[in-house]
Structure 1
Amino acid sequence: MRRSEFTELADHVFGPALARTYARDLVLEDVGGLTAEQAIERGVAVRSVWTALCDALDVPESARWEIPPERRRG
């Protein structure tokens, strides 16, 4: 998973404003007590960060990975 995919999924699942806030401010214990941004910058696998963020916010598995084609970025 690339950083751009993380951003696209986060925007879809949480909305752009909340996605940025969660990535910047929410401390994720599953990635060592770092925020999503910090974890990615320190080399934690982006997929692991995405999973940790979704787990922390109780996002159901069915809502984590699929963006409808009409909502995907070009």
Structure 2
Amino acid sequence: MRRTDFWERMGETFGPAYAASVAADQVLPQLRGRTIEQAIAAGEDIGEIWRAVCTTYGDRVPSRIRR
């Protein structure tokens, strides 16, 4: 997955402004206790980060973009 795809999915899931807030502020256990921004900065695979978002916010992520 490309970063642009990731951010499009984040925007679709949370709205653009809230997506940025989630990425900066929410610590996800699946990312070893880091935020999305920290995981990206550490070079984590963007697909793994997206899967962590889907696991954490499964009720918010539209099913058609969960893959």
**What range is the shorter-chain TM-score in?**
0.7 to 0.9
Residue 7 of structure 1 corresponds to: 7
Residue 36 of structure 2 corresponds to: 36
Maintained 8 Å contact 1:13/1:64: no
Classify 1:11/1:29 alpha carbon distance in 2 versus 1 (closer, same or farther; 3 Å): same
1:62 and 2:59 matched? no
What amino acid maps onto 2:30 in structure 1? D
Give the TM-score, by structure 2 length.
Answer: 0.84
Consecutive aligned runs of 4 or more in structure 1 exceeding 6 Å deviation: none
Unmatched tracts of structure 1, length 5 or more: 67-74
Matched residue count: 66
| Higher Cα Rg, which structure | 1
Query: Cα offset for 1:63?
Result: 4.3
Give the TM-score, by structure 1 length.
Answer: 0.77
CA-atom RMSD in angstroms: 1.9
